[in-house]
């Protein structure tokens, strides 16, 4: 439990938070979202279920990681102008990623509701 707490409070270095957590999570979100939109892998129910589960995980984790990235950027030392620019860029990335992740969760909840409603209406 130490790592999530340290991550959420921004005690993990900015480069680690961005390159080792946020970037792979965003790539996972992009890849699984592209698979769902373009229809790749949806022929097999097991693969489609894995794609949806990974997209759901990435969408749910993205707001948390975005808050961690924001806090890490706030704790980043900024004596030079380019370091301030780097911290502001990280904060903009965090805000955009968090918003996209939260909207994805809302979309997934809506789709789950529609799916369940359609399944119940069919009986």
Parse the chain into domains and list their residue ranges: 12-122
Determine phi and psi for 73, rounding to 5 degrees.
Answer: -70, -35
Cα–Cα distance between 53 and 47 in angstroms, integer?
10
Place of tokens 């961005």: 18
Res 6: pLDDT: 92
* The pLDDT of residue 1 is above 80: no
Cα–Cα distance between 25 and 98 in angstroms, integer?
12
* The pLDDT of residue 123 is above 70: no
Whole-prediction pTM value?
Answer: 0.77
Res 54: pLDDT: 92
Exposure string for 77-89, b = 16+ CB within 10 A, e = fewer? eeeeeeeeebbee
Res 87: pLDDT: 82
Cα–Cα distance between 73 and 67 in angstroms, integer?
10
- How much is the average pLDDT of 48-53? 87
Res 25: pLDDT: 92
Which range among 3-12, 60-69, 112-121 shows the weakest confidence by mean pLDDT? 112-121
- How much is the average pLDDT of 37-46? 84
């Amino acid at each position: 439990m130490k790592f999530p707490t340290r991550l959420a409070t921004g005690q993990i270095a900015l480069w680690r938070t961005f390159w080792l957590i946020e970037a792979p999570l965003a790539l996972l979100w992009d890849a699984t979202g592209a698979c769902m939109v373009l229809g790749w892998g949806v022929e097999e129910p097991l693969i489609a279920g894995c794609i949806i589960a990974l997209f759901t995980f990435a969408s749910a984790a993205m707001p948390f990681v975005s808050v961690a990235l924001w806090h890490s950027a706030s704790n980043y030392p900024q004596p030079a102008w380019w370091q301030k620019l780097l911290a502001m860029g990280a904060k903009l990335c965090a805000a955009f990623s968090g918003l996209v992740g939260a909207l994805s969760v809302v979309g997934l909840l809506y789709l789950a509701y529609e799916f369940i409603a359609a399944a119940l209406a069919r009986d």
